[in-house]
Amino acid sequence: MASTAEKSFEAAEAAVRRPFVMKAARFGFVAKGVLFIVIGALAIMLAVGLPEGRLTDASGALGVIAKQPFGRILLLAFIVGATGHAVWNILRGIADVDDAGRGWRGYITRGFAVATGVVYIALALTALEKILALRVAQAGDAQEAVVTVLLSIPVLGTVLLYLIGLGVIGAGFYECYVGFTGKYRENYRAWEISGLHLWLITILGVLAFSARAVILVMIGYFFLTAGWTGLKDSIGLDAALYALSVRSYGRVLLFAAASGLIAHGILAFYEAKYRRIC
């Protein structure tokens, strides 16, 4: 078993260094950036009262892109980018590109990388379904499906919902820490960044990771609420943005969160150029 695992690690390390994989990974960051900018821009338009604005998640943003001129071509480009981002993240987790290590913390970090890859495979399939004009799951369907399955399991399901909720909230606080300490820059080729670009990356990181932190904490709270009440409500990025929008000063909060999502998208463009791929 250990020998098989070691061979898998070595194969992943060799694959992630291939020029094609590296180029696909960088294009994947561009696709990711565009997606988050679209989500953030739509939310900002809603916050300032424009009729085109809406609250949506990644699937909904792909639907908006599909309706634009040359929408199918844009979706095809996104499929290529999302697939590249997915493959790289899976290889990144297996090969330990970020030097997370083989302790339990390292395996959790690497597991998140693999999970990110799976998410982007799902997004690539969603874009393909948009192109083929097939039904696509509505916003929050995946998370709601998880909640539905867990609620059907007596006691254990509720416990798992609590654990998921606490885990997501913990991830949110960690995102905040990463943003304010600049830890995310450890995986950048820092020696190539200076002046205005370094300053912009720092500001974008604080905005992006703060917004992600708030959204993750709210999503975690939704899971905890589902475990406590036994009710299946909407859970996801769009639900988190909606929860912000109905608070006091909701438009201001929504504008701030959406700006953070746009910052996350722009930061992804910098990742495409400066992120250490292998």
Along the 278 residues of the chain, how does pLDDT read in single tens digits? 556 667 777 788 888 889 999 999 999 999 999 999 999 999 999 999 998 899 998 988 998 998 888 889 999 999 999 999 999 999 999 988 888 888 888 888 889 899 999 999 999 999 998 888 754 444 445 556 666 666 667 667 788 888 888 998 999 999 999 999 999 999 999 889 988 999 999 999 999 999 999 999 998 998 888 888 876 666 778 888 888 888 888 899 999 999 999 999 999 999 999 999 98
Instruction: Enumerate residues 6+ apart whose C-beta is below 8 A from 254.
Output: 43, 44, 46, 47, 241, 244, 245
Give me the torsion for CA of 260, 262, 265, 270, rounded to 10°: -80
Q: Which residues contact 154 (CB under 8 A, 6 or more apart)?
A: none
Q: How far apart are CA 204 and CA 179, in angstroms?
A: 9
Return the exposure string of 60-98: e unless at least 16 CB atoms fall within 10 Å of the residue's CB, then b: bbbbbbbeeeebeebbebbbbbbbbbbbbbbbbbbbbbe
Amino acid 234 reads: S
Side-chain-side CA neighbours of 138 within 13 Å: the count stands at 5
Domain enclosing residue 109, as ranges = 2-274
- Considering its fold, how many domains does the chain have in total? 1
Amino acid occupying residue 40:
G
Strand partners, 275: 188
Q: Which long-range contacts (CB under 8 A, 24 or more apart) does 244-250 make?
A: 244/214, 244/218, 245/46, 245/47, 245/55
| Residues 137/139/140/146 CA torsion (nearest 10 deg) | 10
Residue 17, φ and ψ in degrees, nearest 5: -90, -5
